[in-house]
Amino acid sequence: MNKEIKIGLWVPPRVDTTKTIDEKNPASIDARIHKLFVDYLDESGATYFENLDFRKAVIKNNQVFIGSFCLNDLDHLLWFGDIDRSLDSYDLEVLRVLSLSVKMHNPFSFYIEATDKFSAFSILHSHDIPVSDLYLINQENVDALKDSFKDNSFLLKPRRSGWGLGIIKVDDFSHLRDIVEYYPKKNYYLEKFYPNDLKDWTGVSVVNGTIIYGFRKNMSKISGWKVYDANKTGGDVTYVKPNKEIERIALKIGEILGANFYGLDFIKTAEGYKVVDINCSPGIYYDLIQDLDIPIAELFFKSIELNPSKVEKKEIVEV
């Protein structure tokens, strides 16, 4: 008899898709997709536990508890929601401790790298993935970039940001110098700006080794030269079939970073395609999934060995 598999879920359902996605309202998965997940598990042989909001958990030694429930007794934890990604984040500490004994989907190791643009792109550069040229500087060595501005512009980016927020296009060195003087900090992250047509911008969503679709943001999510979502609501996309080159790059990135599910943003430049962003919460759009007949629940649980049969037990952990 196979060992009972215990699966934990923190996938808060998003009932109102016009609502801002943030730490207070972390739901990123459409409620209709959440139902597909639960229906799929109801046909499996696994014990599963819902509503495991680990952000409210307590860490004791090497274990994580929600009330008397020990999350380390799980075999797997599938989580998909917005959390505090700052370096001193309590949420990240919980994920780190959980990852010592629980199979995480997505893994902590992927999340901690992919939410830091400099860290993730540095890794991808070492594997010859076509990402932007990048620089990390401080107040003391900013002059080293002076000559680079003769033929280039740069994007000054927060290392742990999303939605296109806080990105500044810097066209000349004096502008960068003034920013550094005005806003002193320990380091500054810049990427080379590549002229491109946003009509060729392509986003892709990948789940457990399958590119489920490509898409393009509509005009409501475009501001000048960048994709920009001030209200942090996502959506408003048009389906695009990604070409073979984008597919190859996208799948390779998943292998390198050890990701279960993720999104990527591509631009088309004179040098070819460039990856300009990695998203730990990829765009999972109900309408596209329905139109393309994508078995989304099967894909999400592909990395967990489930035995189709009646579910033996289901619990909801209330916090």
pLDDT digits (tens, 9 = 90+) for 178-193: 999 999 999 999 999 9
pLDDT digits (tens, 9 = 90+) for 8-26: 999 999 999 999 999 999 9
Q: Whole-prediction pTM value?
A: 0.93
Residues 92 and 172 in one domain: no
pLDDT digits (tens, 9 = 90+) for 143-188: 999 999 999 999 999 999 899 999 999 999 999 999 999 999 999 9
- CATH number of the domain where residue 71 is located: 3.40.50
pLDDT digits (tens, 9 = 90+) for 246-284: 999 999 999 999 999 999 999 999 999 999 999 999 999
- Per the domain annotation, does 50 fall within a domain? yes
Domain count for the chain: 3
- Per the domain annotation, does 52 fall within a domain? yes
- Per the domain annotation, does 21 fall within a domain? yes
Residues 146 and 282 in one domain: no
- Per the domain annotation, does 1 fall within a domain? no
- Per the domain annotation, does 274 fall within a domain? yes
Q: Which residue in 279, 21, 277 sits closest to 157, CA to CA? A: 277
Residues 162 and 305 in one domain: no
Q: Who wins on pLDDT, 132 or 44?
A: 132
Residues 152 and 34 in one domain: no
pLDDT digits (tens, 9 = 90+) for 202-244: 999 999 999 999 999 999 999 999 999 999 999 999 999 999 9
> How does residue 317 score in pLDDT terms, banded at 50, 70 and 90?
low
- Per the domain annotation, does 147 fall within a domain? yes
Q: How far apart are CA 33 and CA 23, in angstroms?
A: 20
DSSP 221: G
List, as one string, the DSSP characters of 17-58: TTSPPSSSS-B-EEHHHHHHHHHHHHTBS-EEEE---GGG-E
Task: Decide if pLDDT at 132 tops 90.
Answer: yes
pLDDT of residue 46: 78
- Per the domain annotation, does 277 fall within a domain? yes
> How does residue 1 score in pLDDT terms, banded at 50, 70 and 90?
very low
> How does residue 87 score in pLDDT terms, banded at 50, 70 and 90?
confident
Residues 53 and 183 in one domain: no
User: Where does the chain have alpha helices with state H?
Assistant: 31-42, 90-98, 108-114, 117-125, 173-182, 244-257, 286-291, 296-300
- CATH number of the domain where residue 275 is located: 3.30.470.20
Residues 213 and 153 in one domain: no
Q: What residues make up the domain containing 98?
A: 6-107+296-316
Residues 204 and 274 in one domain: yes
